[in-house]
Structure 1
Amino acid sequence: MSHHFDEEPHNAITDSGIARVIPCKELEMGDPIKWLALGLRDLLKAPLLTIFFGVFFAAIPWFITYLVAMTGWHLVILPAMVCFMLIGPFLAAGLYDISWEFEKGHKPSIWHAIKAVKRNAVNEWGFGIMLMVLMIFWLRVASMIHALYPSYMGNDLEELIPFLVLGTIVGAIFTGIVFLLSAFTQPILMERRVDLGTAVLTSVNAVWLNKGPMFVWAMIIFTTVVIGFLTGFIGFILLMPLIGYATWHGYIDTIETKIERKYE
């Protein structure tokens, strides 16, 4: 019997003896574009399901912005954007299920997609709690940056720039860490009966060993989020499901299986 994990060259964490990690493939720079094309195909095949989930993606940032307008705390927009990017992977479970159903040759349904979170419930909810803790930590950091902002300064852009730059740098580092931890975690938990630690470390390993293609993928996600915000969140109705479907195809493309998938 061959020791598959020991022979796998692209498995940095297992080699260090920290934990079990599912091996990943070496990606090419153009692969994220391919995932996007496959995601678009799924979107066009399931327009009503796409809109159903898309409305939730549009409603959440709208609600955040409404709260900002109510409280008048203008510097909350940046942490709110990061929070949205934190919550996104967990909400995307239903979208992954739709792409998975298409792959199996099944007809996806709303009920089947909603039940997707229950498939590996303990670990999936654990993943949700992990994202929530990260979100709360980020909000504390953001409020500390806000506390540095002197009350006597006005809302003049020139005076705000140092704080916006600081917030952007910290936010970018934080978002990068979250991307590393969660890029493929949710799809792994959905398809495989593995623990949260294995899923998270597999995601970290895959992103770390494919820095170039995964940076392209991160920029695609970031661009869609920016477009969504610029369109007053209307764009999220289609853009976030598109990213969700594409993420599933990215997972299938990146994380290896010992036995070839045979869908009925």
Structure 2
Amino acid sequence: MNTTPDTPAQNAATLRPAPLALSDVVASVAVGVRQFRAIPVLSMAFAALFVAIGLLLFAALNHAAVAPMSLSLAGGFLLVGPILLAGFFSVADKLRHGRRPHFGDILDGFRRMPRGGWVVSFVCGLLFLIWITDAGILYGFMVGREPIGFARLLRIERIVVDFAAYSAIMGAVLAFILFAVCAFSIPLIFDRRAQLVSGVVASVRAVFGRFGVMMCWALLLSAVIMASALLLPLLLFTLPVMAYASRELYFRTFPVAGADRAS
């Protein structure tokens, strides 16, 4: 899949997004489920690393009695999610070629990621820090030093609902910007079909050019990942499935000449 166009004209052609429909989103998720079922142990083993990190973070929040911040962390996971994609992409590509992937392929995916992909990942991490900082400031204004652990969080008190609502509105802007920039730039850069700038431009063009379909995908992705980040064991299944699905949707948006779609 690492197809590098020979000329600028060819490059422009390969970065022209194809028409999309909601059926492409449904089919991409179906491919994600099939690929997960083909290698469930490897997929869950990689996802388990982030589940463990999430458990440690949630334990720290409960110990500090600032449990409502877990809602911001769950939303913020969408901002750092693109950093993880290289490992899942490498595994998915092995499956597409009919080969059996192993754990070394996950590491190989990160080694294969060009510098431009790491620049985008750095921006993701920077936006995550901005998001958490803003959420912390908002928490200080709305909740203050009132101790709230997870036991009290489950009561769904008004103060928690208000914090969640305002922080969601605030984070939605960052999440949309990041989605438009990263949705297709990282896979294009990973496959060396684009450089940093051309990949970002192509991604933004694809998102706005197929706005309705892409917003449906964005809402589905955010709902599944945020719910799973709050109910961490679910992330073992949903994180790989959605990562594989995003790889398939990328191939449907920017088809590679002569390449078959995943069956």
TM-score (norm: length of structure 1): 0.83
Indicate if the aligned counterparts of 2:47 and 2:240 stay in contact, CA closer than 8 A: yes
Q: State the shift of 1:251 in Å.
A: 0.6
Partner of 2:248: 249
Distance 1:262 1:39, change over 3 A: closer
Matched, 1:101 2:100: no
SS at match of 1:101: helix
**Which digits, 9 at most, give the CA deviation of each residue in 1:204-241, with x for residues without a partner?**
111111111112211221232244145x3111111100
Q: Which moved more, 1:178-187 or 1:239-248?
A: 178-187
Q: Which moved more, 1:218-227 or 1:124-133?
A: 218-227
Partner of 1:145: 138
Which amino acid counterpart does residue 91 of structure 2 have in structure 1? Answer: I
Partner of 2:215: 215
Matched, 1:115 2:108: yes
Partner of 2:85: 92
Partner of 1:237: 236
Partner of 1:189: 189
Indicate if the aligned counterparts of 2:143 and 2:159 stay in contact, CA closer than 8 A: no
Q: State the shift of 1:115 in Å.
A: 1.2
In the alignment, the residues of structure 1 paired with residue 68 and residue 214 of structure 2 have an alpha-carbon distance, to the nearest angstrom, of 29
Q: State the shift of 1:2 in Å.
A: 11
Partner of 1:17: none
Indicate if the aligned counterparts of 1:228 and 1:234 stay in contact, CA closer than 8 A: yes
In the alignment, the residues of structure 2 paired with residue 153 and residue 110 of structure 1 have an alpha-carbon distance, to the nearest angstrom, of 44
SS at match of 1:219: helix
Mapping 1:23-62, distance limit 5 Å: 23-62=16-55
In the alignment, the residues of structure 1 paired with residue 125 and residue 147 of structure 2 have an alpha-carbon distance, to the nearest angstrom, of 33
Q: Which moved more, 1:160-169 or 1:65-74?
A: 160-169
Q: Which moved more, 1:159-168 or 1:236-245?
A: 159-168
Distance 1:63 1:260, change over 3 A: same
Indicate if the aligned counterparts of 1:124 and 1:186 stay in contact, CA closer than 8 A: yes
Which blocks of at least 5 consecutive residues in structure 2 are unaligned?
1-6, 149-155
> How much identity, in percent, do the aligned residues show?
21
**Which digits, 9 at most, give the CA deviation of each residue in 1:78-125, with x for residues without a partner?**
321122112212112211111111222222121122111221332222
Indicate if the aligned counterparts of 1:206 and 1:255 stay in contact, CA closer than 8 A: no
Q: State the shift of 1:154 in Å.
A: 8.4
In the alignment, the residues of structure 2 paired with residue 82 and residue 22 of structure 1 have an alpha-carbon distance, to the nearest angstrom, of 30
- CA RMSD of the aligned region, Å? 2.7
Distance 1:24 1:163, change over 3 A: same
Indicate if the aligned counterparts of 1:92 and 1:241 stay in contact, CA closer than 8 A: no
In the alignment, the residues of structure 2 paired with residue 149 and residue 217 of structure 1 have an alpha-carbon distance, to the nearest angstrom, of 32
SS at match of 2:19: coil
Q: State the shift of 1:261 in Å.
A: 3.6
Indicate if the aligned counterparts of 1:117 and 1:190 stay in contact, CA closer than 8 A: no
Partner of 1:127: 120
SS at match of 1:194: coil
Which amino acid counterpart does residue 25 of structure 1 have in structure 2? Answer: A
Which blocks of at least 5 consecutive residues in structure 1 are unaligned?
9-20
In the alignment, the residues of structure 2 paired with residue 52 and residue 2 of structure 1 have an alpha-carbon distance, to the nearest angstrom, of 41
Indicate if the aligned counterparts of 1:61 and 1:84 stay in contact, CA closer than 8 A: no
In the alignment, the residues of structure 2 paired with residue 194 and residue 2 of structure 1 have an alpha-carbon distance, to the nearest angstrom, of 11
In the alignment, the residues of structure 1 paired with residue 227 and residue 166 of structure 2 have an alpha-carbon distance, to the nearest angstrom, of 23
Q: State the shift of 1:254 in Å.
A: 0.5
TM-score (norm: length of structure 2): 0.83
Q: Which moved more, 1:240-249 or 1:123-132?
A: 123-132
Q: State the shift of 1:5 in Å.
A: 7.2
Which amino acid counterpart does residue 112 of structure 1 have in structure 2? Answer: D
| Number of residue equivalences | 248
